């Protein structure tokens, strides 16, 4: 995380790319805070939160949500992060889309994510409500679930910027868990339906969810580090930018080398034998197969 912050401070192009969405977000939050504080003052509410407090809450809240209106600007940060880290050039998977269509798509995704975060654990909460001492457990699960989706969102732009087709596939872990519960007892059969609905709602984040499955401890450590960045005065304003750079670096470290090794292995398998080396023997056909 410190490396990401240093890179953001040292690389001029990356810094300029990050300043645009940060400045626009800060301007919007400042207008919101000023209008809200002025409205409270006009109503005689002198004990309400001040403009600075409102600004900070709004800024942190927006930084933790999908980018929506500024998706193109934040994706540019992800592309610049790849360049600054010395990775192959990234690509915009929605380069041919206009701004209105892009924003509409991002708003739909934001609404889907809001439903997932707010109601995704509803079947589990219903079961927990029947148990004694349920409130602390329910609250902890809710916080963990919301935190998990902040992490998933942090990896969205860095993974979208990776060149090539997206790799997300399969049923996500939370849907599989609900389906296993449904198979354990017939009374819990609605859990299976909830799992299928949840898998359908979260389909746009399949690749990010699979990444967190493959690297759970690294993802958790990344989340704690990004959260700690919020507590550093001044650095918190670049919370999303630092997160994008750090997530890009983490993805390259955990999966970039493996992908390159796989490509080299595939290339080596099809390479011609070196001078003096015997040619590879053709595999004999298996019983029951026919040569053509």
Instruction: Tell me the pLDDT tens digit for each residue of 73-125.
Output: 999 999 999 999 999 999 988 888 888 888 898 899 989 988 998 888 777 77
Per DSSP, 190 falls in state H
As given in the structure block, the two tokens for residue 213 are: 């499955």
The dihedral sign for the CA sequence 113, 115, 118, 124: negative
Give the pLDDT score at 64. 67
Give the pLDDT score at 48. 54
Q: First CA to last CA across the chain, in angstroms?
A: 57
Q: Which of 46-60, 67-81, 155-169 has the highest mean pLDDT?
A: 67-81
Give the pLDDT score at 86. 93
Other CB atoms within a 10 A radius of the CB of residue 84 amount to 21
- Residue 153 CB contacts under 8 Å (≥ 6 apart), including other chains: 64, 65, 66, 113, 205, 208
Task: Please state, for a pLDDT cut of 70, what percent of the chain lies above it.
Answer: 80
Residues 197, 169: contact at Cβ < 8 Å?
A: no
User: Mean pLDDT in the chain?
Assistant: 79
Closest-CA residue to 20 (of 93, 100, 75, 92) = 75
pLDDT at 221 over 80: yes
Per DSSP, 231 falls in state T
The dihedral sign for the CA sequence 218, 224, 226, 229: negative
Give the pLDDT score at 234. 67
pLDDT at 261 over 60: no
């Amino acid at each position: 995380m410190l490396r990401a912050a240093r890179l953001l401070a040292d690389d001029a192009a990356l810094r300029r790319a990050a300043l645009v969405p940060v400045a626009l977000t800060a301007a919007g939050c400042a207008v919101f805070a000023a209008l809200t504080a002025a409205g409270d003052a006009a109503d005689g509410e002198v004990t309400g939160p001040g403009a600075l407090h409102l600004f900070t809450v709004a800024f942190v809240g927006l930084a933790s949500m999908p980018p929506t209106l500024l998706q193109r600007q934040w994706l540019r940060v992800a592309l610049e992060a790849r360049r600054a880290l010395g990775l192959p050039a990234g690509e915009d998977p929605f380069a041919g889309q206009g701004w209105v269509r892009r924003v509409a798509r991002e708003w739909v995704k934001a609404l889907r994510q809001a439903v997932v975060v707010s109601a995704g654990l509803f079947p589990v909460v219903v079961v927990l409500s029947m148990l004694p001492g349920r409130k602390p457990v329910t609250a902890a699960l809710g916080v963990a679930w919301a935190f998990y989706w902040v992490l998933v969102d942090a990896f969205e732009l860095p993974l979208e910027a990776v060149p090539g087709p997206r790799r997300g596939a399969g049923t996500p872990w939370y849907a599989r868990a609900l389906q296993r519960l449904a198979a354990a007892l017939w009374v819990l059969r609605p859990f299976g339906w909830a799992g299928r609905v949840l898998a359908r709602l979260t389909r746009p984040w399949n690749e990010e969810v699979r990444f967190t499955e493959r690297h759970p401890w690294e993802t958790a450590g990344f989340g704690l580090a990004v959260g700690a960045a919020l507590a550093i005065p001044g650095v918190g304003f670049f919370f999303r930018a630092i997160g994008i750079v750090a997530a890009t670096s983490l993805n390259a470290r955990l999966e970039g080398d493996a992908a390159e090794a796989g490509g080299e292995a595939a290339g080596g398998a099809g390479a011609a034998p070196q001078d003096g080396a015997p040619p590879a023997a053709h595999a004999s056909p298996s019983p029951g197969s026919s040569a053509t």
